[in-house]
Chain A
Amino acid sequence: MAASSPKEVLDVDGPAAPPRRNGELVFAAPWESRVFGVTISLHRAGVFEWDEFRQLLIQEIGAWEKQGHGEEEWSYYERWQAALERLLAAKGLCSVDDLEQRVDQLEQRPPDHDH
């Protein structure tokens, strides 16, 4: 291609670089990035159609909103995680029992365990 790519034309790191995220972190906590990455990874592996996940996410968000929580309790990625748990159970990839059992195991690690 004759035209240079916009990435080369733009000043990506210098003073003229536009803010990529306007100062806001993409993920507020490491677990948010992991649940996002796991979901995208599963989708790329062909485990589900994106809309299957989206419908569950819509249900989870809608149900949460009907429960009358305060805005300060809102966590988008908690709803995402809940939707993913339901998707995995429906696909037979990770039952609720398997998940709870693994959570218990992880909880019993010594407090100073190293990741």
Chain B
Amino acid sequence: MSHDHDHEDADIALRVEAIESLLTEKGIIDTATVDEIVRYYEQDVGPLNGASIVARAWTDPAYRTRLLNSPDLAIAEMGYGGTEASRMVVVANEPKVHNVVVCTLCSCYPWAVLGLPPTWYKSPAYRSRIVREPRAVLREMGVDLPEDVEIRVWDSSAEVRYLVLPERPAGSEALSPAELAALVTRDAMIGTAKVPGPTK
């Protein structure tokens, strides 16, 4: 099985290489630009961006209001921008409301604030099940919500990308924005995790 898989991997690697070489020869793309894009998404953009946005929203009420009302502007204010022509929507968790994000049709994701999506986010199982049985899926992922907490599932599209603003954990009152950002995980901003309290 693993041999077959390796073989398929080699086949597709060849097809990708063929496309890149043909397009490069035609002058439509160039290798340096492709290298730069890959490096950017591997190293420069990631959940760190979203975490700093969340930490500021927790510590600056006026920013929180701007973030919920005009998310694109509030995110741009922090120096992060959309790479695609899509609108951001920020959905805030509350004691009785838990938000979770999916893209049922493909894998739309807020790249500018979270980087590229994790493997499970793109999997057929997550994409179909989180809509049908969100409470069970969240429980499997470690978020066991009481029955009286409403779960809102947000389906991303080409036009709209969602970011979950998680609840600030108890016991974090004394932390600085940088320390708070360190607590915020990627999964918490997708809605498949809670932000853990600080470890003493």
Chain A residues close to B by CB (< 8 Å) = 5-7, 9-12, 16-22, 24, 26-31, 33-38, 40-42, 44-45, 47, 50-51, 54, 57-58, 61-62, 65, 71, 74-78, 81, 84-85, 88, 93-94, 98-99, 102-103, 105-107
Chain B residues close to A by CB (< 8 Å) = 8-9, 12-23, 26, 28-30, 33-35, 37-38, 41-42, 46-49, 51-53, 56, 78-79, 83-85, 105-108, 115-116, 118-119, 122-125, 158, 177-179, 181-187
B182/A11 in contact, CB under 8 A: yes
A28/B119 in contact, CB under 8 A: yes
Task: Give the residues in chain A near B187, CB-CB below 8 Å.
Answer: 22
* Cα A31 to Cα B18 with chains together (Å): 11
Q: Classify the interface of chain A: helix, strand, loop or mixed.
A: helix
A-B contact pairs, 5 of them (CB 8 A): A6-B49, A21-B118, A28-B119, A38-B34, A106-B21
A26/B105 in contact, CB under 8 A: no
User: Of A11, A21, A47, A81, which one neighbours B186 at CB under 8 angstroms?
Assistant: A21
A41/B18 in contact, CB under 8 A: no
A45/B28 in contact, CB under 8 A: yes
B125/A42 in contact, CB under 8 A: no
Q: Classify the interface of chain B: helix, strand, loop or mixed.
A: helix
A18/B9 in contact, CB under 8 A: no
Nearest residue (CB) in A for B36 is: A37
Q: How far is the CB of B198 from chain A (nearest CB, A)?
A: 11
Task: Give the residues in chain B near A22, CB-CB below 8 Å.
Answer: 47, 118, 185-187
* Cα A110 to Cα B45 with chains together (Å): 38
